[in-house]
Structure 1
Amino acid sequence: MNDHDKRDFLAGLEAEVDALMRGETTRRTFITRFGQMTGMLAASGPILGLMTDWALAQQKLELADAGSPLGQAQAAAMKASMEGPADGSAFRAVEAAKTHSGVTLNMTYEVGLQALDPRNFSGPMWEQLTGMKSNVVELSNPDQYSKAVAEHIAGSGAYDVLDISPAWTPSLADGGVIAPLDDYIAKYMNPADLEDYHPLYKALPTYKGKIWGFFDDGDMFALYYRKDIFEDPKMVEAYQAKFNAKLAPPKTWEEYAQIAQFITDQMAPNVYGAGHFRKAGSPGNQFDFLQQYRANGGKLFGDDMKAGLVSDAGVKTLQNMIAANAASIPGNNELDAVSLWAAFLTGKVAMIYSWPPSGRMAANYSQSATAINFIPQSQIAGKVGYAVVPGNPEHATGFNKALSADSANPEAAYLFMQWVCSPPVSLARCMLPYALRDPYRISHFKSELYGALFPSAKEYLSNLNSSANVGLLDPIMPGAQDYFLSIDRMCTAVWAGADPKASLETAAAEWNETTDRLGVDSQKAFYTEFLKLPGATADNTVEKLGMAVTL
């Protein structure tokens, strides 16, 4: 895309954000144009070569600027892979993998930006180090599950490495779709690498006492807010006068709605207090409800596995969400994650909570890559603060790397997984401006190189670590997606004016139908396993279990 096209796109995007705020129906146009941009990301050949900071040219890798933090991280990953230390997981994986030179690994990735990492960085580096090639199969998120199951049933051996949601692990393990890694880990991995995972993430690939993958994406929600607004003397004075309290990042959801409404009242239509991705299927509704509901004391299921949604906690959660919607930008209930990012980056919104790329985009770091230039340049760089979401933030999905049980080259596939998730290599991958892998290792949060990516990167990393200390996990059990969709339908109905309690009753009935269909006793066993994980409930967060990581 040339400079003229870029200017036109950014100008049009800002106009569409403004139109959304006026309540005009421009989202279809926005998404069409967004799709055009992201469609380019999946292209191959010359177009892809132009879009990446990395290229495989004459079998020699070209690193980022050697003096930049990213360049130093990439060089450190290469050195650890080639020179050691000898007991390092990256080095051990590369040495063992050289015996598999010439093998091609087929690996699934979510379509779009996620796939740029193996296409442009980790795949070419692995080939350079081991002689093994990689074939990236881009799939939509639902297809990452359904295609893996279908190919297993067909016995095709189509895939070697699978990117899966942690919620799918029990189903795929019991179905024989993925294989345990324990024997390979004992043979090849440095055990210290497992201890480097933040405690919230360490156990996510564990099921029935075995390890079924490597966690690989810290999708922790966090609060991003405009420091210049929260610290403005006039705003501070007005808030103090009205509420006899300091204007500061909210600690409760009631405070959140109150602050959002105050900012909207003071600054609209130029700036609104908050924004959320409430569009049906976004999937912000399910994540937001799950984090608030459990922070409010709600239980997902009773001892009899009946849905616990119809409760005071359920009603309170929906009422808080309704209040937040009322304080937000016009068109709030039709926003998806990308259009919310656009509103925040262009200065239209004072607070959002979303995935970690929010912070990198707000600092204009992500936009340094050509591949992500469809995201508008940040107009709020240097003005953004970080805070923990009120109550308990949601770890909203994430990814595990799993070994396909049908792989024709299981050891080769495992070795790639060990290498790509090792501390030095995973750090470099999480630092890529165009990819969407987010920090998840303790060494990521402590990294001086990551902390130098942009001026407030250290504070950004510290907040992600603090958020994980009190974070909550998505339910990990069969039927999770069906439960999530019921929540999404419930919230969408409430935004349209349906009664909250009646909507909770409808969603609870759908949950009970899903549970009955899958088997009450079976689901109870899965849910019992889930409740053992740190972060399964607000009562057993990493912090409350005494395992909090302090930086």
Structure 2
Amino acid sequence: MWCKIGLSLGIKTAAAAAAASQLPAGLARAATKVPPGKKLFNDIELTYFQDSNWLHAPMWLSDLLRKEAGVGIKSRENYDGGDAISKILPQLLSRRPRFDWVQYPSLFFGSLAQTGQLEPLDDYLAQYEGSSEYLDWVMPAYREFYTKWDGKTYGLMLDGDIHILHYRDSYFKRADLQRKFSSRFQRELEVPKTWPDFVDAVQFFTEELKNEGVYGTSMVVNPPNFGWGFWMDIAASSGVNYFDENMNVTINQGNAAASLDMFKEIIKFGPPGAESMDIGTTIQRWQSGSDVMSVWWIDLAEFTVQQQGVERAEDQRGAIVPGWVNDDGSVTHRAISLWCRTASIPKNIPQDVKDAAFYFIYRMSHPDYSNEIVADEYCGSDPFGRSHYGDAAARLYLQANPQRGTDELWPTNAGIFKNFDTAKNHLDAGLANIEVGYPQFFWEGTPEYADALGRNISRAVSGELTSQQALDEAAEEWTQIVQKLGIDSQKAQYRNFINGARQLGYKI
């Protein structure tokens, strides 16, 4: 989407704490509770960069944190998220960046961390009591990939994107459809748990409902730098990975081509224009009730609820993305954590500004504030921490955000959902997918990898290439990207992916 638990916070001895208080490094300062009851900073006003699809949380937090600790927001600069590298990198490399902290799609986390121009944050975290609990609170599917680089912390999570399976409950409960499906497939009409069952359901709904203007699903194909992620939901759950440990490309091996065949089969039963379906059109189709199911980011149900009548809005449900059946009868699911958002601090800014900037992004990420931020329609952040799920979290989606009133940037404040069961199901589905979350690639070369893979998948969907040919073409381009960027450098960077994946128990 485009709070409060009691982690006790306080400042303790650390070099950065000493710098903030103008004491020599190593001298102790009494622990200060947060909120501190006094200014920790001398009314420092921060400038930050953010991608334009994220919304306004730092702006309404500014007054709160200014009162809490003496740090607020002076100004912000928006940029298109796809231009993150071209907009952010020159500033990081400059003598004095225009921003004091920056928010960016986690897709580019490794590329930026690899420059050596992001400030390591571990010493800053060590200033605050409860920081280890905070780090444990961040869901591993995000923490292990989009905050750590070469064993150090360079970012804090602000947004936890994940794909889930959205569906319209009423169609699965229609008696006439249940009878027809049962007669045809010799099983009950249920929300599909496997990709073969998903294809059956898509075909069935399309054939039964297209005369009503309703289709089984729409899958994102374009733009290519996103379309690959929807194939990856299918491919990763069948064991496909990006590279092996030695940086040999594996996106064209194992079940990769069969997964792309499955992707194409789903698209075949989609609406007119399915072969080139873009993100905006899938949103419009869901808002209008034209699709029964949609594999999409979790926030589809959130930001479309305002554009739908109550009946259609409450008909939205969520579930785990389909997977593949194993030999023992279990099902392996993998949901891609595509995009997400991380916040970091540049190295080349004054120390007192670094201290203030860290405090701001830490408090914004911390559940004290983010519990309510992620439930706010004018934020743009999806859940990324443990307390962002569950009954208490669901209730926050039904009520006004106490952090803010209303103004021209956030003109309403009445919650997102109207029904607790809808909000709870929404979060339950998100949690189920986070627990099987599979990372996007996020190291140097990411834009090129995304373009090559997505573009060739589009060629397969259009019929220009077979699935195997398309993935072989993508693999050859990936090999050339590795060679251009340097095999040793790429292997070292890819180690961050391997280490995180193994922390989650994934085989690489």
TM-score (norm 2): 0.82
After superposition, the Cα gap between the structure-2 partners of 1:449 and 1:474, relative to the gap in structure 1 and judged at 3 Å, is closer
Seen in structure 2, the aligned counterparts of structure 1 residues 237 and 389 have a Cα distance that, compared at 3 Å, is same
2:366 corresponds to: 422
Q: Does 1:273 align with 2:220?
A: no
- CA shift, 1:295, in A, is 1.3
| Alpha-carbon distance, 1:299 to partner | 2.8
**Cα distance in 2 for residues equivalent to 1:437 and 1:414:** 19
Distance 1:314 1:97 in 2: 58
User: Is 1:103 aligned to 2:44, yes or no?
Assistant: yes
1:122-521 alignment runs, 5 A limit: 122-134=61-73, 135-190=75-130, 191-204=132-145, 205-270=147-212, 271-281=214-224, 283-362=225-304, 364=305, 367=306, 375=307, 380-391=312-323, 392-408=334-350, 409-446=353-390, 448-451=392-395, 453=398, 454=417, 455=419, 456-499=422-465, 500-521=467-488
CA–CA separation in structure 2 for the residues paired with 1:122 and 1:144? 24
Deviations 1:406-427 (A, max 9, x none): 2231001011011111112011
Distance between the aligned counterparts of 2:503 and 2:476, measured in 1? 23
Q: Distance in 2 between matches of 1:383 and 1:350?
A: 10
Distance 2:241 2:503 in 1: 10
User: 1:375-425: CA deviations, max 9, x gaps?
Assistant: 555761221221101121111120111111122310010110111111120
Decide which moves more: 127-136 or 156-165. 127-136
Q: Provide the C-alpha distance between the structure 2 equivalents of 1:93 and 1:155, rounded to a whole number of angstroms.
A: 33
Q: What displacement does 1:158 show?
A: 1.2
Contact 1:144 1:163 in 2 (8 A): no
Distance verdict in 2 for CA 1:332–1:308, change over 3 Å: same
Secondary structure of 1:291 counterpart: helix
Alpha-carbon shift at residue 303 of structure 1 (Å): 4.4
- Distance in 2, Cα, partners of 1:540 & 1:404: 34
User: Residue 435 of structure 1: SS of its match in structure 2?
Assistant: coil
Offset from partner CA, 1:276-304 (integer Å, 9 cap, x none): 222224x4412112222221222322344
Residue aligned with 2:201, SS:
helix
- Residues in 1 aligned to 2:251 and 2:122: alpha-carbon distance in whole angstroms: 37
What is the Cα deviation at residue 502 of structure 1?
1.7
After TM superposition, give the deviation of residue 175 of structure 1 in Å.
1.2
How far apart in 2 are the matches of 1:436 and 1:85? 27
Q: Distance in 1 between matches of 2:290 and 2:105?
A: 32
Could you say if the C-alpha distance between residues 140 and 276 of structure 1 is closer, same or farther in structure 2, counting changes exceeding 3 Å?
same
Separation in structure 2 between the aligned mates of residue 144 and residue 97 of structure 1, nearest angstrom = 36
Q: Secondary structure at the match of 2:39?
A: helix
Q: 1:92 to 1:178 in 2, by over 3 A?
A: farther
Alpha-carbon distance in 1 for matches of 2:337, 2:502: 9
CA gap of 1:223–1:511, structure 2 versus 1, over 3 A, is same
The Cα of 1:537 is off from its aligned counterpart by 8.5
For the residues of structure 1 that align with 2:119 and 2:174, how far apart are their CA atoms? 55
Secondary structure of the structure 2 residue equivalent to 1:107: strand
What letter is aligned with 2:217? A
Match of 1:36 in 2: none
User: Contact 2:456 / 2:471 at 8 angstroms: preserved in 1?
Assistant: yes
Shift of the 118–498 alpha-carbon distance from structure 1 to 2, 3 Å rule, reads same
Q: Which amino acid aligns with 1:200?
A: A
* 2:109 counterpart SS class: helix
Kindly state the Cα deviation for residue 482 of structure 1 after the two structures are TM-superposed. Answer: 1.2
Aligned mates of 2:391, 2:95 — CA distance in 1: 43
Task: Tell me which amino acid in the other structure corresponds to 2:274.
Answer: N
Provide the C-alpha distance between the structure 2 equivalents of 1:447 and 1:400, rounded to a whole number of angstroms.
Answer: 26
Letter in 2 for 1:348: S
TM-score, length-scaled by structure 1: 0.76
For 2:433 and 2:274, the matched residues in 1 are separated by 25
Deviates more, 1:528-537 or 1:411-420: 528-537
Contact 1:145-1:164 at 8 Å conserved across structures: no
RMSD: 2.6
Larger strand percent: 2
The separation in 1 between residues aligned to 2:139 and 2:438, in whole angstroms, is: 13
Q: Post-superposition shift, 1:444?
A: 1.0
Deviation of 1:189 (Å): 4.5
- Measure, in 1, the Cα distance between the counterparts of 2:37 and 2:507: 40
CA contact (8 A) 1:342 1:376 kept: no
Where structure 1 has 5 or more consecutive residues not aligned to the other structure, the ranges are 1-40, 42-72, 368-374, 542-551
Contact in 1 for aligned 2:111/2:442 (Cα 8 Å): no
Q: Provide the secondary structure at the position in 2 that maps to 1:404.
A: coil
Does the 8 A contact of 1:307 with 1:512 survive in 2? yes
Instruction: Give the corresponding residue for 2:328.
Output: none
Larger mean CA deviation between 448-457 and 513-522 belongs to 448-457
Offset, 1:309? 2.4
Q: Indicate the percent of aligned positions where both proteins have the same amino acid.
A: 21
Q: Is the 8 A contact 1:470 1:535 kept in 2?
A: no
